[in-house]
């Protein structure tokens, strides 16, 4: 045993479980806004993730207990479940989770070695393979024509069957971002579109509050010194500046930048996804570049691209640039004139 003789580290599991705790307020508001189905998706994703992780760990001959209980795979499962539509069929959740854990995590070498954010790889794979399912978002309960109880939602997710006489269209609805995009294409102005009942003060009904809770959770993570604010602030800044630029150019066709902050996966992405330490840039300046670029790219994909949201794709694209970003943003070392080692 050698120095130091004291330690503060909470272990990987301590970190992961605190990140999950930070997600809980958002999940509570999720249930309020969309009903209990999100709890079912979280459960399906978690169980799948644990089973697949255990199998992979055993296959790779690692000690099963510390690695399965490190919490990292559960966090991946949660982030995936929170990113896809809450009333997705069970198999969609299972497929996404398996892709995330097997392909994005373990084939890259497991915890700490993956280049791409596993939850986002799972999300992107589903988005490309099953676009129809990935755009089926349930309407917020305050707007839905009919109300589904826990049993009804569970039955729908497991069997795809709705209570007798009910149509899928009655419970599904385009997301606020989607609605905005479609309506703008139909040559309505932003202010006209925002009159629609799906929108709240900023963002969508229900989802605005979920975003606020994610922001709260993110602040907790910062205060608990689990994340630094570099990435989230740069991400929000990148998104906001892009939004502001287009908004100032043409307010009829481009929604206000704060709307972008409150909708879609922005807050979840800024505080919980882009900050995944394994796949994000690691130097202070690198984190700023990484976050800003991811935020700006999110805007581009959202507004100009074909997908309803851009968080997943922009984070994945930036993941690929992390080695480069880190190499060219090395901080100066004490007693050295500048970062001489950077270019070596």
Partner 1 sequence: MRTLHTFHGGIHPPEHKAESNAQPIVQAPVSKRLTVSLRQHMGTPAKPLVQVGDKVLKGQMIGEPAGFLSAAVHAPTSGTVIAVEPMAVPHPSGLPDLCVEIEADGEDRWIDHAPIDYQTAPTQAVLDHIRNCGVVGLGGAVFPTHIKLGVQGQLDTLVINAAECEPWITSDDRLMRERADEIVQGIEILQHLLQPKATLVGIEDNKPEAVSAMKQAAAGKAIEILAVPTLYPTGGEKQLIKILTGKEVPSGGRPYQIGVVCTNVATVYTVHRAVNHGEPMISRVVTITGNVKQPGNFEARIGTPLDDLLALAGGALPDTNRYIMGGPMMGMPLPDSGYHVQKGSNCFIAASDALFPPEPAAMPCTRCTHCAEACPVGLRPYELQWFIRGKNFDKARTYNVFDCIECGCCSYVCSSNIPLVQYFRYAKSELMERDREKRAAEMARQRSELKQQRLEREKAEKAAKLAAAAAAKSESPEEKAAKQAAIAAAVERAKAKKAEGDAAPEAPAETIKEEA
- Binding residues (CB under 8 A) for partner 1: these are 1-12, 14-15, 66-67, 70, 72, 110-113, 225-226, 228, 277-278, 280, 282-283, 330-336, 341, 344
Nearest distance from C-beta of residue 170 to partner 1, angstroms: 44
Q: Is the dihedral of CA 94, 97, 99, 102 positive or negative?
A: negative
Rg over alpha carbons for the chain, rounded to the nearest Å, is 21
What lies within 8 Å, CB to CB, of 87 at 6+ separation is 34, 37, 41, 136, 138, 153, 156, 157, 171
Nearer to partner 1, 7 or 187 (CB): 7
Question: What is the Cα–Cα distance from 88 to 90, expressed in whole angstroms?
Answer: 6
Nearer to partner 1, 3 or 195 (CB): 3
Question: What is the Cα–Cα distance from 76 to 46, expressed in whole angstroms?
Answer: 9
Nearer to partner 1, 5 or 187 (CB): 5
Nearer to partner 1, 149 or 332 (CB): 332
| Strand ranges in 156-315 using DSSP code E only, listed in sequence order | 172-173
Nearer to partner 1, 10 or 58 (CB): 10
Nearer to partner 1, 53 or 70 (CB): 70
Nearest distance from C-beta of residue 102 to partner 1, angstroms: 18
List alpha helices for 283-310, DSSP H: 284-304
Nearest distance from C-beta of residue 142 to partner 1, angstroms: 39
Nearest distance from C-beta of residue 284 to partner 1, angstroms: 8
Q: What are phi and psi of 183, to 5 degrees?
A: -65, -35
How many C-beta atoms lie closer than 10 Å to residue 20's C-beta?
20
| Strand ranges in 174-263 using DSSP code E only, listed in sequence order | none
Nearer to partner 1, 186 or 334 (CB): 334
| Residue 327, helix vs strand vs coil | helix
Decide if 295 contacts 251 (C-beta within 8 A): no
Nearest distance from C-beta of residue 110 to partner 1, angstroms: 7
How many C-beta atoms lie closer than 10 Å to residue 2's C-beta?
4
Decide if 281 contacts 322 (C-beta within 8 A): yes
Decide if 262 contacts 210 (C-beta within 8 A): no
Nearer to partner 1, 31 or 111 (CB): 111
Nearest distance from C-beta of residue 98 to partner 1, angstroms: 22
Nearest distance from C-beta of residue 7 to partner 1, angstroms: 5
3-state helix, strand, coil in the chain (%, to 5): 65, 0, 35
C-alpha distance from residue 129 to each of 76, 301, 305 (Å): 20, 18, 17
Q: What are phi and psi of 172, to 5 degrees?
A: -95, 160
Nearer to partner 1, 59 or 161 (CB): 59
Nearest distance from C-beta of residue 109 to partner 1, angstroms: 9
Nearest distance from C-beta of residue 338 to partner 1, angstroms: 12
């Amino acid at each position: 045993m050698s120095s130091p003789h004291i330690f503060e580290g909470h272990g990987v599991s301590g970190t992961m479980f605190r990140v999950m705790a930070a997600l809980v307020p958002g999940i509570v508001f999720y249930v309020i806004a969309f009903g209990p189905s999100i709890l079912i998706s979280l459960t399906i994703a978690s169980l799948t993730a644990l089973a697949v992780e255990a199998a992979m760990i055993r296959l790779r001959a690692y000690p099963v207990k510390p690695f399965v209980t490190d919490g990292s795979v559960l966090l991946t499962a949660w982030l995936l479940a929170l990113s896809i539509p809450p009333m997705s069929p069970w198999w969609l959740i299972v497929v996404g989770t398996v892709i995330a854990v097997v392909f994005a995590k373990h084939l890259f070498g497991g915890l700490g070695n993956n280049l791409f954010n596993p939850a986002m790889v799972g999300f992107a794979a589903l988005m490309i393979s099953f676009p129809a399912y990935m755009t089926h978002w349930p309407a917020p309960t305050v707007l839905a024509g009919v109300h589904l109880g826990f049993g009804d939602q569970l039955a729908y997710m497991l069997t795809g069957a709705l209570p007798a006489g009910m149509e899928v269209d009655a419970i599904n609805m385009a997301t606020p971002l989607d609605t905005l995009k479609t309506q703008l294409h139909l040559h309505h102005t932003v202010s006209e579109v925002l009159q629609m009942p799906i929108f709240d003060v900023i963002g969508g009904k229900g989802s605005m509050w979920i975003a606020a809770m994610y922001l709260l959770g993110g602040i907790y993570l910062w205060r608990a010194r689990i994340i630094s604010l570099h990435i989230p602030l740069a991400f929000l800044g990148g998104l906001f500046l892009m939004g502001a630029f287009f908004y100032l150019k043409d307010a009829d066709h481009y929604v206000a930048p704060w709307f972008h902050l409150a909708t879609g996966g922005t807050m979840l992405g800024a505080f919980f996804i882009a900050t995944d330490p394994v796949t994000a840039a690691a130097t202070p300046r690198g984190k700023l570049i990484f976050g800003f670029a991811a935020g700006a790219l999110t805007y581009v994909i959202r507004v100009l691209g074909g997908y309803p949201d851009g968080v997943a794709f922009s984070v994945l694209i930036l993941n690929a640039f992390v080695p480069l970003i880190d190499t060219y943003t090395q901080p100066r070392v004490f007693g050295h004139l500048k970062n001489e080692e950077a270019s070596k």
